[in-house]
Structure 1
């Protein structure tokens, strides 16, 4: 089942996508609310909508993010991506040993989500804008200290995830040994819709990974291609790690991290030592397609100038 959220008659409307039409759920119903009621409720409401609701053509409707998640974690689960970006940022030629020990993530901004075909503004002060091709898992059941085996049943579905990055802002702030922050929290694309986990099970390989083709194009030219199954950990390991010592709850979104082989520009820059292709500029269109899920496409537009904030003053070292 595929669940989309669209802008319809002045507000958001959630529904089931079948071919090129939306079978709407009752007004006010959201994917997050259904996930909180349980996957049985999601399936039953979706099947009822397909049987009974009058279909709405998707053509011409604005696709919103499929849900408004309470939290968004983004992992870094592709070794090839880490290797390339490390070369670009620090000049290191090897992945640090700590990467292999546990699946690292950061929290990004759930208020900065954009839809599958929305424009994306250059963030204030950014001159080196990049995309990042990922897939995200969406949690369907609450759980804490999960084992990977148990965690699989806590994944309700998946969506395409573009973790936009302001590389110059990110580079500055991470030299303080904290972050990323403003290098990341201006935009994250989710879409085009949420695909329930059962739809992707036929793509699972013998090691438990989802073997899905992933591609990214800039202005119609392919710059990256990889397989989701090249992750260092499957999604259930990521969910289990996220739940360690805490809870994951319905609607939580967990990004895979950027795929390799051109999943972002910074990886390519690190491998070649040349900033080519160039950073994204207003007018550029980034198109991402993930097998079994769908396609998202965003065009870059001019952003706002940064509101000035003065540098820190040198503090005296007086004590009371």
Structure 2
């Protein structure tokens, strides 16, 4: 089952509804799907957490009503998350990034346990939204990821218990200002301004039960992932190449802590799923950083496609002032 958040093109920007997505994309990548609205007030996270029988009943009711065509709606982020965690689970991606920093490959600590960075929940954008290029970067990059939407609270959960907390999955693009990110992380913190301007999630959430049959023998969701820029394929991988399963990620995050309903937990970038990984492997900016007018399209099999155009930056704000330096006096022994 695919669940979307949307507003009609005739509504104000603040409108938000939840709908059932029926139909599919055609072989020529054209859209042939419709959104059938649920009753007003329906909450997508609560729908993910509902008993499957009840959810199917509500979906059947929604399907009886007339559907809205893609041209009639604006797809919104399916979730405005209460928190976002971005993991680092693809070994090949870590290898490429480390080599770009002069290291021989993944550090030994990477294999010990999954690590993540917290992201800015208010920066989420819809699956077809334009993305203004930040005025302070010359190295705009994309990151192809698969993300899990949490529908039940979890604390100290086993992987088996964590599985029940995952309501569904969506495609995620963790946009990155690589020049800014690199400078920030030399201070052993961040990324901050290198990441806080946009994170695309969408186009909708596919319920976990819909894709569970695509798990491999070790319980890893195994779906094809591709990214194209201006119609040219730049990278491809499979989610089955993650170092940890989503059940393990949720379980680990919940150790001595809470993972709350409404969170998004993302896989991190897949192999060849970013420009920076190619830069690290080749030692050159090839393919080049994203520019105004570029269209980034990400597809995960059985989940969907997000497609975003890079547009000119919003009005510039004042540059940040450097730190005030403190005078230091040497004290004699």
Give TM-score, length-normalised by structure 2: 0.90
Aligned to 2:291: 281
SS in 1 for 2:164: helix
SS in 1 for 2:233: strand
Correspondences of 1:123-134 after superposition (within 5 Å): 123-134=134-145
TM-superposed deviation, 1:41:
5.3
**Which of 263, 269, 292 is the matching residue for 2:302?**
292
Aligned alpha-carbon RMSD (Å): 1.6
Tell whether 2:193 aligns with 1:220. no
Q: Encode CA deviations 1:111-141: one digit per residue, 9 max, x unaligned.
A: 0111111100111301100000000011121
Correspondences of 1:235-254 after superposition (within 5 Å): 235-254=246-265
Aligned to 1:313: 324
Tell whether 2:110 aligns with 1:65. no
Aligned to 2:20: 16
Q: Is the 8 A contact 2:89 2:114 kept in 1?
A: yes
Counterpart Cα distance in 1 of 2:52 and 2:114: 27
Correspondences of 1:46-61 after superposition (within 5 Å): 46-51=59-64, 53-61=65-73
Aligned to 1:83: 95
Tell whether 2:207 aligns with 1:206. no
Counterpart Cα distance in 2 of 1:264 and 1:222: 12
**Which of 192, 196, 203 is the matching residue for 1:181?**
192
Counterpart Cα distance in 2 of 1:182 and 1:163: 13
Q: Is the 8 A contact 2:45 2:151 kept in 1?
A: no
SS in 2 for 1:59: helix
**Which of 271, 277, 293 is the matching residue for 2:281?**
271
Tell whether 2:44 aligns with 1:34. no
Aligned to 1:159: 170
Q: Is the 8 A contact 1:39 1:140 kept in 2?
A: no
Aligned positions, number: 315
Counterpart Cα distance in 1 of 2:35 and 2:128: 17
TM-superposed deviation, 1:143:
1.3
Counterpart Cα distance in 1 of 2:195 and 2:47: 29
TM-superposed deviation, 1:277:
0.3
Q: Encode CA deviations 1:154-176: one digit per residue, 9 max, x unaligned.
A: 11100001000000110111111
Counterpart Cα distance in 2 of 1:268 and 1:38: 44
Counterpart Cα distance in 1 of 2:286 and 2:192: 25
TM-superposed deviation, 1:44:
4.0
Counterpart Cα distance in 1 of 2:265 and 2:51: 19
Q: Is the 8 A contact 2:143 2:173 kept in 1?
A: yes
Counterpart Cα distance in 2 of 1:207 and 1:21: 35
Q: Is the 8 A contact 1:32 1:68 kept in 2?
A: no
Correspondences of 1:94-133 after superposition (within 5 Å): 94-133=105-144
Counterpart Cα distance in 2 of 1:136 and 1:15: 20
Q: Is the 8 A contact 2:159 2:248 kept in 1?
A: yes
TM-superposed deviation, 1:43:
4.2
Counterpart Cα distance in 2 of 1:40 and 1:101: 40
Q: Is the 8 A contact 1:35 1:251 kept in 2?
A: no
Q: Is the 8 A contact 1:119 1:300 kept in 2?
A: yes
Q: Is the 8 A contact 1:284 1:300 kept in 2?
A: yes
TM-superposed deviation, 1:204:
0.8
Counterpart Cα distance in 2 of 1:159 and 1:137: 7
Contiguous gaps of at least 5 residues in structure 2? 24-32
